[in-house]
């Protein structure tokens, strides 16, 4: 497809501060010259992208299709010889877990509200035959400073799977990746539900269920679903019940997004009133390390 050079992003936006940087992209703040509205622009360096067609036909096509209040919106796309530019809704609160680490404490009630938002967003995606495949703390952005409202972001590994179709592509970040992806088995929408189970566990405990300094031992723990609940903080039986139905080795027996949304804990019942006071050292250590990625092919 020929590039339309007549439409230059710099004719429409003034670029500002760098908001974040990855291996093949930079996210910058940008102001619309006509309306003065501020957005985030993800600048993808084409020379660093192994499969440019996949980015255009999957990530961008999916983001154009997705319209939900709990998912970061794609407003426009530009392209030149060197870059593809995604103009995105600006979410200023930062990453969810970073906010929790900074606060040093939170309540199970707050964890319930956050979990419900994640589940609502994923239920919407799954109803539209879209799997995210890279749900993790870095891809959950806070709208405000109190981490009470989130947006699901980054559709780099997302894919459309129609009519109960499955795939075998290995991708994601190991701490959050379902065992069937790691082992190379066929999988579908339920892979996202495993990732949500890991995220909820981390929200409730301040650590990850399958973390280990030895990567092979961590993979073995994931495959065998070997994890324990710490004695402190004391997590409610209802919350544990939900996670136990998400971290299930057999994908067919894992809760769907709709089932999880109907769970009493997500609905605000049987929720502990205790506030969790913890340093989140384990969680912060993992966040500060580069998560080992399983590259999509």
pLDDT on residue 163: 67
Annotated active-site residue in 134, 154, 192, 211? 134
* pLDDT tens column, 86-118: 999 999 888 887 776 776 656 888 889 999 999
Question: Of 201-205, 238-242, 290-294, where does mean pLDDT reach its minimum?
Answer: 290-294
Q: Give the model's confidence band at 45: pLDDT under 50 very low, under 70 low, under 90 confident, else very high.
A: very high
192 is catalytic: no
The share of the chain scoring above pLDDT 70, in percent, equals 88
> In terms of pLDDT, which residue wins out, 36 or 48?
36
End-to-end Cα spacing for the chain: 22
With a CB cutoff of 8 Å and minimum separation 6, the contacts of 121 are 68, 70, 71, 152
pLDDT on residue 286: 53
Asked if residue 297 has pLDDT above 50, the reply is no
The share of the chain scoring above pLDDT 90, in percent, equals 61
> In terms of pLDDT, which residue wins out, 291 or 124?
124
User: Could you tell me where the beta strands, DSSP code E, fall in 143-265?
Assistant: 150-152, 159-160, 172-173
Nearest to 101 by CA among 282, 290, 291, 235: 282
Walk me through the domains of the chain, giving residue ranges and CATH numbers. 9-88 (3.30.200.20), 96-294 (1.10.510.10)
pLDDT on residue 279: 46
Backbone phi and psi for residue 229, each to the nearest 5 degrees, phi listed first: -95, 130
* pLDDT tens column, 135-194: 998 899 999 887 789 999 999 899 998 767 788 788 878 899 999 999 999 999 999 999
Average pLDDT value over all residues in the chain: 87
Cα–Cα distance between 59 and 53 in angstroms, integer? 10
């Amino acid at each position: 497809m020929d590039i339309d050079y007549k439409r230059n992003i710099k004719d429409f936006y003034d670029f500002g501060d760098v908001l974040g940087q990855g291996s093949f992209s930079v996210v910058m703040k940008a102001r619309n010259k006509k309306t003065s509205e501020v957005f985030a622009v993800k600048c993808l360096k084409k020379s660093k992208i192994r499969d440019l067609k996949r980015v255009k036909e999957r990530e961008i096509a999916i983001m154009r299709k997705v319209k939900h209040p709990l998912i970061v919106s794609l407003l426009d796309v530009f392209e030149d010889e060197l870059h593809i530019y995604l103009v995105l809704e600006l979410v200023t609160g930062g990453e969810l877990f970073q906010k929790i680490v900074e606060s040093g404490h939170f309540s199970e009630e707050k964890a319930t509200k956050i979990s419900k938002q994640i589940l609502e967003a994923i239920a919407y995606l799954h109803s539209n035959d879209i799997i995210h495949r890279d749900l993790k703390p870095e891809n959950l952005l806070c709208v405000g400073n109190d981490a009470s409202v989130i947006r699901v972001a980054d559709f780099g590994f997302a894919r459309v799977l129609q009519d109960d179709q499955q795939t075998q592509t290995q991708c994601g970040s190991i701490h959050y990746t379902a065992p069937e992806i790691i082992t190379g088995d066929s999988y579908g929408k339920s892979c996202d539900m495993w990732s949500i189970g890991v995220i909820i566990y981390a929200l409730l405990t301040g650590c990850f269920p399958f973390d280990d300094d030895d990567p092979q031992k961590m993979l073995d723990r994931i495959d065998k679903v070997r994890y324990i609940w710490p004695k402190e903080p004391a997590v409610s039986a209802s919350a544990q019940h939900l996670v136990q139905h998400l971290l299930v080795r057999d994908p067919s027996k894992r809760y769907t997004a709709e089932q999880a949304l109907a769970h009493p804990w997500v609905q605000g019942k049987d929720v502990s009133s205790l506030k969790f006071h913890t340093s989140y050292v384990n969680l912060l250590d993992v966040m500060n390390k580069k998560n080992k990625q399983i590259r999509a092919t």
